[in-house]
Amino acid sequence: MRAASELRESKAKGTLGKQILVFAQGFRSLLVPSPEVLAETVVILHPLVALSDKVLPLKSYFNMVQQMQRTTHLAWALAQALTKDLPAGTPAEAKAKAERAAALEVELRAKGAVYLAATLAEETKKSTRVTAQATPEQRAAVERDLLQKLDQDAQRRLCTEDVFMVACSFLEVEIAKQGSVYYLKGESPDFKETKKNRNPLNLSDEVVLKTLSSGLARPDEERGAVERGQIDSGFNHLVRLNKLHLTMTEVVRWIKEGDQKNTPRRKIDVRKHFGLSHTDYERIMSMARREGMISFRNRKKDPSNSYVLRAKNHQRVVEYAEKFGHSPQKTLNKILDDFFDLIEKRREKSTVGS
């Protein structure tokens, strides 16, 4: 997959959208109605794949990207509706209004598309003329029309199947088929292999991309129970990982706040405050370390448990530690665990053979 640094650099220069559009023009049979939506799809999909630690159905990623785009649009629309009455007569007032809308949009994204649609419909209904004499049926019809209009507006901000496949090809993700289902491999350092014997597809082949696009267009309701269950399970897993990533910033902020007040927040404090399991806590800490948001804390060491590695081995351990988001000590122990397991399996195999 393309490096995140490459995308950040292009985005900072303002050339990412143009770069993606030029790339898309190489696929004549794939339609790209909106270059802006294509660029947004790339920006959303890359961190999603980077977070994923499993091989999940391609349709799970497609559904997740669309849901995030829908939520983003509705959050923006609701933030605008809630701040429309704020004064903006002077440059200072206009700036304050824009900052308030932006902050509100970030806050609203965590609410979810269903909540946002219902709340936005309520706000819109306030400015819609509905007479006091209107019957319940008439009021329900107005609300239904508002929700339908909101959905249509959001639909224009969602990626199509063709756009999604162009984004996959641009990012150079790994897609393969097992049985009748297409899977996309996650790129997290915590990756666990769950689907073996897969043959990666050539995503530079336009015919392959069009075939995958056609497969995505098939409604989930028309798929078999097993495939539909895998798609839903994969979608829920991505939602959970994305939620953990959003929670990570709050966790780091809370820990640093404790350090500033000279009241260190321990692991048990963090888990209790945010309602995290041990696994979720470890995953959040790994994410934060990989993104450079927190540093490793020194623990008390047993004086007799001290070893010196050769410079070359130490450098390799450090490189693996940075990749996996663990401390060098934890990484070295993991390497030794794997090594001893391998030695033990070889010993057992030789014993059985003799």
Kindly write down the DSSP assignment for every residue of 308-349, as one continuous string: ---HHHHHHHHHHHHHHT--HHHHHHHHHHHHHHHHHHHHHH
Rounded distance between C-alpha atoms, residue 244 and residue 251, angstroms: 10
Q: Which residues pair with 178 in a beta bridge?
A: 181
| Three-state SS at 351 | helix
What's the pLDDT at 111? Answer: 65
Q: Which residues of the chain have pLDDT under 50?
A: none
Beta bridge partners, 176, equal 183, 200
Give me the amino acid identity at 199: N
pLDDT tens readout for residues 254-280: 998 888 888 888 889 999 999 999 989
pLDDT of residue 124: 60
In what side-by-side order are the strands of the sheet with 175-178?
A: 55-57, 181-185, 175-178, 199-200
Quote the pLDDT of residue 300: 53
The count of C-alpha atoms lying within 13 angstroms of the C-alpha of 237, restricted to the half-sphere facing its C-beta, is 19
Give the per-residue pLDDT at 138: 62
Backbone angles phi, psi at 55, to 5 degrees: -95, 115
pLDDT of residue 71: 84
Closest by CA to 33, choosing from 209, 211, 160, 155, is: 160
